[in-house]
Amino acid sequence: MAQIVRVTASEEIYQTLREEILSLRFKPGEELNLQQLSVQLQVSRSPPVRDALMRLSSDNLVDIYPQKGTRVSLINLKQVEEERFFCVKVSKTMPSRNSSTKRVRIISRLWKLPLKNKQRMQ
């Protein structure tokens, strides 16, 4: 029997906005207006959008400026290079035989670690 997975409006909005940011449909530095996002995402009220933006902020994908607005975070080239280096280093230490699935799982778990934990592991 198939398992039914219920997704909250906040989670669905989070996933949608995250994909929009990561695919650069929302450009770095672009302002994200809460009311416009609510209309675009066809959500009648803004709390789910606000919750999604808070999660995106904790992921360092948006910057929230109280009383001023929310903007897509600028790309930190130093951090990108550090994370790229980390992924390359991890992939080189993995056994190469039939380990691509395992490698992807490990790298994706490590990718979610805060940067300071990644630096400690080097």
Average pLDDT score over residue span 47-75: 92
User: What is the rounded average pLDDT for all residues in the chain?
Assistant: 79
Considering the domain architecture, whether residues 93 and 110 belong to the same structural domain is answered as yes
Confidence of residue 84 (pLDDT cuts 50, 70, 90): confident
Average pLDDT score over residue span 86-109: 65
Q: What gap in Å lies between CA 30 and CA 21, rounded to an integer?
A: 10
Considering the domain architecture, whether residues 63 and 85 belong to the same structural domain is answered as no
Average pLDDT score over residue span 3-28: 88
Q: Is residue 116 helix, strand or coil?
A: helix
Per the CB < 8 A criterion, the answer to whether 72 and 29 are in contact is: yes
The whole-model pTM stands at 0.63
Domain boundary (53, 72, 91) is at 72
